[in-house]
Every structure is written in C-alpha cells, then in structure tokens.
Amino acid sequence: MELPGGYIAAASSSNGLCSKSNSFGLRLPYPTTPNTLHRTLIAMKASNLSTGSGGEKGRGGKKGPRKQKKKAKEGDAAAPKEAAGLDAEGSGSKQASLSLEDVNPVGLGRRSRQIFDELWRKFAGLGQLSTTSVVDEGLLEGVLIGGPMCEFTVAEAQDTTVLVVGATSRIGRIVVRKLMLRGYKVKSNPPTTIQISNINTKDHERYEKGLWLGKADPEVIDMLPRSVDIVLGDVGEPTTLESAIEGCNKIIYCATARSTVTADLYRVDYRGVYNVIKAFQDHNNKLAQLRAGKSSKSKLLLAKFKSSQSLEGWEVRQGTYFEDVPIDKYNGRMDAKLEFTESGEAVFSGYVYTRGGYVELSKKLSLPLGSTLDRYDGLLLSVGGNGRSYVVTLESGPLADTSQRKLYFARMSTKVGFCRVRIPFSSFRPVVPDDPPLDPFLVHTLMIRFEPRKQRPPEGPSGLTQDPRSFKLILEYIKALPTGQETDFILVSCTGAAIDPTRRAQVLKAKKAGEDSLRRSGLGYTIIRPGPLLEEPGGQRALIFDQGNRISQSISCADVADICIKALHDSTARNKSFDVCYEYVAEQGNGLYELVAHLPDKANNYLTPALAVLEKNT
C-alpha cells in the first residue's frame, strides 16, 4: 500500500512543478516503461524507509500545515529530481542495473537539496541588490582578473621571467608589484617566477650607520609579494648572482648605492651593473651551449686574434685622400704593419706622416654557414692601444664588380689600454652621401683605417708628448652583436639633479661607468635617467622624455616603475638612453621643440611615441 502512494505523491508533485523543472533543464519523470516505473518505486521505497529524506518531506508537505510552505516546496522540488535522475538513468541504459549509489537515500536527499538551493538562490537573487558571484570562479578569474579583460594584462607576461635587482628600493618595490599585477608569473609553472635579488645585505652589516636602512630589511622583504621568488645576494659579489640569474629572460636594475662613499658607488653603480650583465651573459651562453651555440642572444665571432694564423686574410693597405698629388712632394711617409707579437697580441701599428694619408687593415668576412649580418645589430671590438680614433668601414655590394661597391664608415674612438667599443650598424654612414643606408646583409669586407686627421690631443702623463700621427692598435676580437626586438636589460640611472653637489661628480662617474658597461655588453638595453624621485602616486602628470641632460623637474617613483614595465616589451625602447621627468616649461633658449610630453594612462601607450623620436644607441 505504501509504495503506490509514494509514487503518486512524487508524480503529482512533479506535475505541479512542471514548468520549473523544465526551466532548469531536467526531463520530467514520466515513467513510460514498466522497467522505469519499477525503478522509481524502488527509489521511493528506499527514501520512505529513511528518515528525513526528500521523499518523506514531500509527503509531509502535502499533508502538513501551510506554515511549512518553504519546507514543502523544498520537498516538492526534491521529489521530481530524484525521479528524474533515475528516469534519465533508466531510459539511457535500460539494461544497466542500479548501483547502490543511485538508491542511496542520503545521496538523493543531498542532491535534491542542492537542486532546490540552486533554484532558491536564483529566485532570491532577483530580489537582491548585490549578488555574490556564483559562477565558476576559475573561468571568471581567468578572463576578468588575470585574463585579457584586465586592463593590466600583458600578453607576453606569461613567458617572461624578470629579475628585479634592488627590489626593495623605492622604484623596485613598485616595479615588483606592477610585474605581479601584469601576470609575470605562471602559477602552475613553478620555474617561471619573478626573482628578486636583494642588494647590499652584506653591506648593511658592514656599514650599520643611521643612513643605512639595514635594520628595516626583514620588514622590507616582508613587504614583497609572497609568490615572488626572493634571492638574497649582493651585486658586488659575482658568485652570489648565479642563482639569481637562473631562468631569467629580462633584468630590471634599480639598485642604487645607499651612500655616496666612493667604494660603495663603485660597488653598486658600476661593478654591480657589470657583474649582473656578466652573469646574465654567462647564463645566456650556457643556454646557447645547450642548443649547440645557436642562440639568438649569442654574439657572432667575426675575427679573433689569438694566434699568428688568425692574422691570415688581413691586408694592410696605404693610401691618401689626395690621389692626384704625388706623395714625395710633401716628403710624407707612412708605414704600417700587422704582426703577432711574442706576448701573444695582434698589433696593428705604424705612423702616417703624409698629409691626407691613411693606412688601413681590411679583411673579407667569412661568416659561418647560415649566419648573415642582418640578424645582428652592430659590431663589438675589443681593442687596446694608445687611444687613437679609427674609422671602421664596411664594404657592401657584389664582390665581383667593384664599380658597384658601396662604402659605409663609422668613427670609433679608443682609450689608452684595453677597452671594448660598440658600433651599431645604424651609426654607419655612406661615404657617398647619395647611397642608400647600410644593409648589413650585403656587407662583405671590414676595414679599420687610421688617419692622422681629427685625432684628439694625446692622453697620458703631461710632459710626455706623443706624436698623434703614430698609432698602435692591439686587436683582441671583433664580434657582431645580436639584434632583437626587445630590451634585455633596463637600468635605472639618474640625472644627478638630486645629488648633493659635493658628491655629484663621483656619483655620476660611477653611474656612467655602469651605463657604459651595459652599452658595450651587447645586450639590448634601456637606460632610464629619471629626475629627482618623489614618493607620490603615478600617472597624474604628463612626462617629458628627453636626451641630453636638460631636464630639471622631478618625477614620481611610480611613473619610473611604469616606464620600466612598458619598456620591457617595447621595441622602440631597445638600445636607448633617455632622461625623463614631469612636464615643465623650458627656459628661454632651451626650447621645447625636442621635448615630448605624454600623460601616462591605461589607454594610451605613451612610451612608444615618446621614444620613437629619440636617438637610438645612445
């Protein structure tokens, strides 16, 4: 007797809720075959036997007082759900037997409860002012929070690991936050995290003075986001940098010496930059070795002067600009030779006393198979000598036909002693002004020319006069610098305006040395020289981007940080140095015509147009 009753209750209640169950996508439980009917009955029996399950509530609701309307409704919703679930199961696979799970009254009750809750929530949501989001959080977050809908999201961020050197500095802290906001990190991929190298921890112990914020350090580190991979290290100690560089694609260097003690400046602003660059290049080289030397970031060796054999192919030539004039007339003489000395150096030396005369060293380039110079950005020469300046000439055009050859030249100045000189291809100018700009792809010959013209007054101890017409050039190697779209290394330097005037020269000297070592490194670089830093929110005032140390205003740390982030993936920022500060009205005679002002905002990418007009390779 009980079983049919139970069934009827279920059927009638499902009738009553017909429209509703339809609306949430359930099929109505009309048993069509004896088989399914039987199953429904089993189910009802099971639920009747249990106490407090959906089925019993359903019946109770029918008979009970109206007061329990809510509960009754719940039961009503529950009953058809059970039946529906079973029915769907039954009709889907009639042969399949019911598992114990399907008739488990507790499970059924729970499920029916869930369905009702969902229904009620939707209903109640209509009458509410604020709705809590109930959708799949992961999907929503993926699109709205971290995904493309977010104003901060940067598409390249996922594959980029950035090393922030000096993450606890005023700019560094904001840089780290901005990186995190832009998703420079993949949660599921442990190796791609932002790494932080905290600089100067050792120095704190050494110089625990009032000026040094040594004591605050643990707190400062606490302020960094926890998902950041923190590497403690000291830029002054190259050995500590290895682990920090591991796995990084890009570096933002915003560490700065915290005192103006010369040793400290040297350690952080010069050697620090140098050490980080070196570690980064070592890391790149290591990666390149894993890929059999084929890395887009490795330099191409054009010539290496390490043995007397390596001098083969280099020719020494002499000439003069006044070809119609006989040389003897001016009693001029010149001589030059390239030799491999006993001390293991390739020395190009000689003298040019002839007016308008020159001597040059030339070689046909033999590039390794598959490499062409158009994939490179410029030349890097490691040379020593007595500090003369030379003209580097590239010859392009068909090899066979010399009448069509085109010459491009660039001046290079050297220092006394060894130095590395970087000559970007973009600084080569055609000898014949009408020629098209240099196409590195067509270059086949390299020449280094010495001429007595335009030499600087000789350096060296006073009293020791050197004849500017003699020269000595020790060659170590010539390499081609790899090109790239983006910058690899962002260095935050300074304009020097905020520094105590008594120490300004020393500070700037150290900063400049750091900048120079970056420029010569062959890495894609961006050097940002902000005006005096202010601790205020960014994005409020227009900025001026300029070159040439003319700016006078200050700038907020947040704006500098924003420029760093934007420069990471901006091709116009590659190989540029620039000054930046708040907008101002220039003094008379110091016209604004070259200064560009841009208001930082989410919508506009202010950096690209601002930097596009600035000189490259500065």
The residues that touch other proteins, with contacts defined as CB under 8 A, are 23-25, 67, 69-70, 122-136, 139-140, 142-145, 147-152, 173-174, 176-178, 180-181, 223-227, 535-540, 556-559, 561-562, 601-603
- Report, in Å, the least distance between residue 220 CB and other proteins: 12
- Provide the minimum distance between the beta carbon of 345 and other proteins in the complex, in angstroms, as a whole number: 52
**Cα–Cα separations (whole angstroms), residue 274 to 270, 279, 513:** 6, 9, 9
CA dihedral over 181, 187, 189, 195, signed as positive or negative: positive
Q: How many CB atoms lie within 10 A of CB 520?
A: 19
Start-to-end C-alpha separation, the chain: 96
Cβ at position 365, least distance to other proteins in Å: 45
- Dihedral sign for Cα atoms in the order 361, 367, 372, 375: negative
Q: Which is nearer to other proteins, 73 or 283 (CB)?
A: 73
Residue 95 has which token pair?
């042969």
Strands 543-546 and 596-598, by their bridges, are antiparallel
Rounded distance, CA 573 to CA 485, Å? 9
Residues 6+ positions from 463 with CB-CB distance below 8 Å: none
Q: Which is nearer to other proteins, 111 or 202 (CB)?
A: 111
Compute the distance between CA of residue 24 and CA of residue 42 in angstroms, rounded to an integer: 25
Q: Which residues of 399-438 are buried (b: 16+ CB within 10 A; e: fewer)?
A: eeeeeeebbbbbebebeeeebbbbbbbbbbeeeeeeeeeb
In the bound state with other proteins, the residue whose beta carbon lies nearer, of 117 and 374, is: 117
CB of residue 537 vs other proteins: minimum separation in angstroms?
4
Q: Which of 369, 419, 412 is nearest to 394 (CA)?
A: 412
How many residues are there in the chain?
618
Query: In angstroms, what is the minimal distance from the CB of 538 to other proteins?
Result: 5
Task: Say if CB 6 and CB 12 are below 8 A apart.
Answer: no
Q: How far is the CB of 535 from other proteins (least distance, A)?
A: 6
Give the nearer residue to other proteins in terms of CB position, either 19 or 403.
19
Q: How far is the CB of 543 from other proteins (least distance, A)?
A: 14
Per-residue CA distances from 112 to 48, 80, 100, 119, 345 (Å): 15, 9, 17, 11, 88
b/e per residue 70-91 (b: at least 16 CB within 10 A): eebbbbbbbbbbbbbbbbebbe
Region of 496 (left: φ > 0; alpha: ψ -120 to 50; beta: rest) is: left
Six token digits for residue 404: 């069509």
The least distance separating other proteins from the CB of residue 148, rounded to whole angstroms, comes to 5
Minimum CB distance to other proteins smaller for 41 or for 220: 220
- Compare residues 143 and 287 and give the one whose CB is closer to other proteins: 143
Q: Which stretch of DSSP H or E encloses residue 40?
A: helix 34-49
- Beta carbon of residue 432, minimum distance to other proteins (angstroms, whole number): 51
The angle, 0 to 180 degrees and rounded to 10, between the axes of the packed helices 54-63 and 69-92 is 130
Kindly state the smallest distance separating residue 556's Cβ from other proteins, in Å.
6
Compare residues 15 and 23 and give the one whose CB is closer to other proteins: 23
DSSP for 54-121?
HHHHHHHHHHS-GGGHHHHHHHHHHHHHHHHHHHHHHHH-SSSPPPHHHH-HHHHHHHHHHHHHHHHH
Residue closer to other proteins, measured from CB, 24 or 322: 24
Q: Give the shortest CB-106-to-other proteins separation in angstroms.
A: 25
Cβ closer to other proteins: 101 or 151?
151
Judge residue 602's burial from the number of C-beta atoms within 10 Å of its C-beta, 0-12 exposed, 13-18 middle, 19 or more buried.
Answer: exposed
Using alpha carbons, list the distances in angstroms from residue 339 to 136, 144, 361, 392, 419.
75, 67, 12, 19, 20
How is residue 595 written in tokens? 């200064």
Tokens of 415: 């220092």
Q: How far is the CB of 610 from other proteins (least distance, A)?
A: 19
Q: What is the largest CA-CA distance in the chain?
A: 136
Our CB check for other proteins shows the closer of 98 and 139 to be 139
Closest CB to other proteins among residues 597, 612: 597
Cβ-based nearer residue to other proteins, 120 or 207: 120
Q: What minimum distance in Å lies between the beta carbon of 477 and other proteins?
A: 44
Q: Nearer Cβ to other proteins, position 147 or 293?
A: 147
Measured from the CB atom, the residue of 437 and 537 that comes closer to other proteins is 537
Q: Are strands 315-320 and 489-492 parallel, antiparallel or unpaired?
A: unpaired
Give the nearer residue to other proteins in terms of CB position, either 136 or 500.
Answer: 136
- Shortest distance, CB of residue 20 to other proteins, whole angstroms? 8
Residue 125 beta carbon to other proteins: minimum distance, rounded to whole angstroms: 7
